[in-house]
């Protein structure tokens, strides 16, 4: 009985040392995720972003982590988790510069799932997202660079909205 208590104490002590030695703060986890993105290891970056959201949900980096997770799931063609990640992002960060692009991804997922009612709701939301005045212009554009280093561009025209990912047309929403 005494040996079991000693063994248990030693195991708990080792576990405590192991966890303390590898503990990281939110900035370190985010930096590691970005380092993996730059090395084109998005699977490892995803794990760091997911760890960031689990361990530091109120971190100043949580916004970027949440967007990156949605991107990762979409790139991996895991549309169920992508839809959930994008919905969470939209609910958690309604004032984000990334919001139109999250809506764009959710629109694409709704199209893949052939969910006509969600498609219409998202189209309406995207069209009404920005109060626009085309004074002396034919279009108005917005850009966003994601944590996974993808460049997003959205251009509102008088009769449509176009979304680009890395300068390639990704989605067009007529109105």
Domain boundaries, the chain: 24-174
Q: Is residue 21's pLDDT more than 90?
A: no
CB 169 within 8 A of CB 162: yes
User: pLDDT category, 88, cuts 50, 70, 90?
Assistant: very high
User: pLDDT category, 140, cuts 50, 70, 90?
Assistant: confident
State both tokens at 50: 């997911």
CB 147 within 8 A of CB 89: no
Second-level CATH architecture of 24-174: Alpha Horseshoe (1.25)
**Segment among 68-72, 113-117, 126-130 with least mean pLDDT:** 126-130
Q: Is residue 151 classed as helix, strand or coil in its secondary structure? A: strand
CB 106 within 8 A of CB 122: yes
Q: Is residue 28's pLDDT more than 70?
A: yes
The pLDDT value given to residue 20: 39
User: pLDDT category, 9, cuts 50, 70, 90?
Assistant: low
Rounded to a whole number of angstroms, the CA Rg of the chain reads: 21
Share of the chain above pLDDT 90, in %: 71
């Amino acid at each position: 009985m005494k040996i079991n208590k000693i063994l248990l104490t030693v195991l708990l002590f080792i576990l405590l040392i192991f966890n303390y030695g590898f503990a990281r703060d939110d900035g370190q986890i985010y930096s590691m995720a970005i380092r993996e993105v730059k090395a084109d290891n998005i699977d490892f970056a995803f794990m760091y972003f997911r760890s960031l959201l689990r361990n530091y949900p109120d971190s100043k980096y949580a916004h970027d982590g949440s967007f990156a997770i949605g991107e990762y799931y979409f790139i991996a063609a895991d549309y169920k988790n992508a839809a959930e990640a994008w919905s969470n992002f939209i609910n958690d960060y309604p004032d984000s510069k990334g919001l139109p692009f999250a809506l764009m991804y959710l629109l694409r997922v709704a199209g893949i799932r052939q969910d006509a009612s969600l498609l219409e709701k998202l189209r309406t939301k995207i069209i009404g997202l920005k109060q626009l005045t085309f004074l002396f212009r034919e279009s108005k554009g917005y850009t966003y660079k994601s944590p996974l280093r993808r460049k997003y561009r959205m251009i509102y025209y008088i009769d449509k909205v176009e979304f680009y990912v890395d300068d390639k047309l990704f989605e067009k929403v007529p109105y």
